[in-house]
Structure 1
Amino acid sequence: MNNKDIDTPDGHSFGDLQLPQLSATLAKFYCVNGKSDMNLIADCLQCKKSYSASTKATSNLVIHLRRVHKVQYADYETMKAAEENNKRESCASHSPQHKMTSFFKTKPLQENKFRTNYIKQRSMVKKLLDSIACDQLPLSIVESKTFRALLHEAEPRFVFPSRTTLRSSLLLQRANDIKSQLIKEFENLSLIYLTLDLWTNQKMVSFLGVTVHFISSSWELKSRVIACDQFEGRHTAVNIVTAYEDVVTKFGIRGKVRKVVADNASSMVRAFDICLPGLYGNEVKNESIKENGDIDNVDILEEELDLNEVLALLPPDRSSCFARTQQICIRDAFNDPSVRSSAIATVIHKCCSIVAAIRRSTVAAPFLENIGVSLQAPNATRWNSQLTMLKSVLKDVNGVNSAICLLGSCKNVQELKVVEIAMLKEVVQISDAFQEAMSQMEGENMVTLSCVAPVVFVLEHSLKLFMESKPTYCLNLANALQSSIKKRLHPFLDRTDVIAAAVMDPRFKLSWLSCEEMKMKNISKIVNLIILQSTQLSLKNTVQERKFFMTVNTNQDEADMSAKRPRLFAYLPPAGKLNVSPSTSDTTAVKAELNSYLGVLAFDVNLLRYWQENKSFNILKPFARNILGCCATSAPSERVFSKAGNFYTPERAKLGPETFRALMIIKCNADMI
Structure 2
Amino acid sequence: MTSPPASSIWIHFQIAQDENYANCNLCLAKISRGKGSHTTSAMWKHLKAKHLSKFQELKGTRSPSPVLPPASPSTSSPLSVSADLASEDDDDPAPDEVASVESPASMCSPAPSPGPAESSFTQSPFKLPPVKRKIVPPPSNQWTMAAFLDKTQSFKPGDKRAKTVTRLVADMICKDNQPLSIVEDRGFRKLLNHLEPRYVIPSRKHLAEKVIPQMYEEVKTKVEDLLGKNNFIGLTTDMWTSTSCDDYLSLTVHFLDENFQYHHLCLECIPFPEVSHTASAIETFITTTLKDWNLSQKVVCVMRDNGPNVVAALQRSPFHHLPCLAHTFQLVLKDGLLNKTEIKDIMSSCRSIVGHYKHSSKAMKTLRSAQAKLNTKPRRLIQDEPTRWNSQLHMLARLMEQKQAVLLSASDLNFQVDLTARQWTVIEEVIRILDVFDKATFVASSSQVTISEIIPLVNSTIRALQTFKSSVGSVQGFRNDLLASMRRRYHSVESEKFYALATLLDPRFKGNVFFNRENLDAAKSTLAIEITDLSMQVEDADLCTSTQGLVRDTSQTSTEQQGGHSMWSYYSQLMVPSSNSSEQSCRLSPEEEINAYLAEPLLQPSSDIFKYWKENKKYQNLRKLSKKFLITPPSTVISERLFSTSGNIVDRKRSTLDPERVRMLVFLNKNLP
Which residue is equivalent to 2:498? 497
**1:394-433 matches, cutoff 5 A:** 394-408=400-414, 411=415, 414-433=417-436
Which residue is equivalent to 2:217? 176
Question: Is the Cα contact below 8 Å between 1:452 and 1:498 reproduced in 2?
Answer: yes
Question: Is the Cα contact below 8 Å between 1:430 and 1:478 reproduced in 2?
Answer: yes
**In 2, Cα distance between the equivalents of 1:360 and 1:174?**
46
* Correspondence 1:354 to 2:357: no
Q: Which moved more, 1:487-496 or 1:448-457?
A: 487-496
Question: Is the Cα contact below 8 Å between 1:442 and 1:633 reproduced in 2?
Answer: yes
Question: Is the Cα contact below 8 Å between 2:240 and 2:249 reproduced in 1?
Answer: yes
**In 2, Cα distance between the equivalents of 1:429 and 1:124?**
54
Deviation at 1:180, TM superposition (A): 1.1
**In 1, Cα distance between the equivalents of 2:537 and 2:380?**
55
Deviation at 1:270, TM superposition (A): 2.3
**In 1, Cα distance between the equivalents of 2:210 and 2:220?**
15
**1:624-635 matches, cutoff 5 A:** 624-635=626-637
Cα distance, 1:73–1:235 mapped onto 2, change above 3 Å: farther
- Select the residue among 627, 639, 652 that pairs with 1:637: 639
Cα distance, 1:74–1:532 mapped onto 2, change above 3 Å: farther
Deviation at 1:185, TM superposition (A): 1.1
Which residue is equivalent to 2:246? 205
Deviations 1:26-80 (A, max 9, x none): xxxxxxxxxxxxxxxxxxxxxxxxxxxxxxxxxxxxxxxxxxx98549869x9xx
Deviation at 1:238, TM superposition (A): 2.1
Deviation at 1:460, TM superposition (A): 1.1
Unpaired runs of at least 5, structure 1:
1-68, 79-107, 275-313, 554-586
**In 1, Cα distance between the equivalents of 2:409 and 2:539?**
69
* Correspondence 1:377 to 2:368: no
Which residue is equivalent to 2:301? 259
Question: Is the Cα contact below 8 Å between 2:243 and 2:655 reproduced in 1?
Answer: no
Q: Which moved more, 1:143-152 or 1:526-535?
A: 526-535
Deviation at 1:494, TM superposition (A): 2.5
Question: Is the Cα contact below 8 Å between 1:358 and 1:404 reproduced in 2?
Answer: no
Which residue is equivalent to 1:114? 155
Q: CA RMSD in A?
A: 3.0
Cα distance, 1:541–1:464 mapped onto 2, change above 3 Å: farther
* Correspondence 1:438 to 2:480: no
Cα distance, 1:73–1:466 mapped onto 2, change above 3 Å: farther
Secondary structure of the structure 2 residue equivalent to 1:654:
coil
Deviation at 1:516, TM superposition (A): 4.2
Deviation at 1:407, TM superposition (A): 4.2
Cα distance, 1:395–1:74 mapped onto 2, change above 3 Å: farther
Which residue is equivalent to 1:194? 235
**In 2, Cα distance between the equivalents of 1:515 and 1:654?**
55
**1:216-295 matches, cutoff 5 A:** 216-232=257-273, 233-274=275-316
Secondary structure of the structure 1 residue equivalent to 2:361:
coil
Secondary structure of the structure 2 residue equivalent to 1:197:
strand
**In 1, Cα distance between the equivalents of 2:198 and 2:632?**
48
Question: Is the Cα contact below 8 Å between 1:463 and 1:482 reproduced in 2?
Answer: yes
Secondary structure of the structure 2 residue equivalent to 1:374:
coil
Which residue is equivalent to 1:453? 455
Deviations 1:140-169 (A, max 9, x none): 222233322322332233232222111111
Cα distance, 1:640–1:536 mapped onto 2, change above 3 Å: farther
Deviation at 1:111, TM superposition (A): 5.7
Deviation at 1:317, TM superposition (A): 1.8
* Correspondence 1:596 to 2:637: no
Letter in 1 for 2:403: V
Cα distance, 1:402–1:618 mapped onto 2, change above 3 Å: same
Secondary structure of the structure 1 residue equivalent to 2:271:
strand
Cα distance, 1:620–1:143 mapped onto 2, change above 3 Å: same
**In 2, Cα distance between the equivalents of 1:249 and 1:118?**
40
Question: Is the Cα contact below 8 Å between 1:197 and 1:263 reproduced in 2?
Answer: yes
Question: Is the Cα contact below 8 Å between 2:243 and 2:652 reproduced in 1?
Answer: no
TM-score, with structure 2 as normaliser: 0.68
Question: Is the Cα contact below 8 Å between 1:221 and 1:629 reproduced in 2?
Answer: yes
Q: Which moved more, 1:152-161 or 1:319-328?
A: 152-161
Deviation at 1:385, TM superposition (A): 0.7
Deviations 1:413-446 (A, max 9, x none): 5342211111111111122111100111112x21
**In 2, Cα distance between the equivalents of 1:612 and 1:596?**
18
Question: Is the Cα contact below 8 Å between 1:221 and 1:446 reproduced in 2?
Answer: yes
Deviation at 1:243, TM superposition (A): 2.1
Unpaired runs of at least 5, structure 2:
1-90, 99-131, 133-148, 372-377, 544-557, 560-578
Question: Is the Cα contact below 8 Å between 1:259 and 1:318 reproduced in 2?
Answer: yes
Question: Is the Cα contact below 8 Å between 1:263 and 1:634 reproduced in 2?
Answer: yes
Q: Which moved more, 1:147-156 or 1:514-523?
A: 514-523
Question: Is the Cα contact below 8 Å between 1:214 and 1:629 reproduced in 2?
Answer: yes
Deviations 1:530-557 (A, max 9, x none): 3335545668989xx99xxx9989xxxx
**In 2, Cα distance between the equivalents of 1:655 and 1:490?**
46
Letter in 2 for 1:417: T
Which residue is equivalent to 2:663? 661
Question: Is the Cα contact below 8 Å between 2:498 and 2:629 reproduced in 1?
Answer: yes
Deviation at 1:220, TM superposition (A): 1.0
Letter in 2 for 1:334: L
Secondary structure of the structure 2 residue equivalent to 1:228:
strand
Secondary structure of the structure 2 residue equivalent to 1:316:
coil
Which residue is equivalent to 1:146? 187
Secondary structure of the structure 2 residue equivalent to 1:363:
helix
**In 1, Cα distance between the equivalents of 2:199 and 2:95?**
39
Which residue is equivalent to 1:99? none
Deviations 1:558-578 (A, max 9, x none): xxxxxxxxxxxxxxxxxxxxx
Cα distance, 1:201–1:657 mapped onto 2, change above 3 Å: closer
Which residue is equivalent to 1:476? 477
**1:508-523 matches, cutoff 5 A:** 508-513=509-514, 515-523=516-524
TM-score, with structure 1 as normaliser: 0.68
Question: Is the Cα contact below 8 Å between 1:358 and 1:407 reproduced in 2?
Answer: no
